[in-house]
Amino acid sequence: VAINDPFIDLNYMVYIFHYDSTLGKFHNTEKAENGKHLSMEISSLSFKNIIWVDAGAEYILESTEVFSTMEKVGAHLKWGVKMVITPSADAPMFVMDMNHETVNNASCITSCSSPLANFIHNNFGIMGGLITTVHGITTVDGLFQKLWCDGQGAAQNISPPFAAKAVGKVTPELNRRLTGMAFSISPKCQLWISPATWRKPPKTMIQENGERPLQSILGYTEDQFVSRDFNSDTYSSFDAGAGIALNDNFVKLISWYDGEFGFSKELLHQLISQHTEN
The whole-angstrom separation of Cα 107 and Cα 178 is 16
Decide if 108 is catalytic.
yes
**Percent helix, strand and coil across the chain, each to the nearest 5:** 30, 25, 45
Backbone angles phi, psi at 4, to 5 degrees: -130, 135
Task: Spell 2-25 as b/e; 16+ CB within 10 A means b.
Answer: bbbbeeeebeebbeebeeeeeeee
Catalytic residue among 108, 112, 149, 189: 108
Could you give the CA distance from residue 243 to residue 193 in angstroms, rounded to a whole number?
8
Beta strands 250-256 and 19-20: pairing type? Answer: unpaired
* Active-site amino acid positions: 108
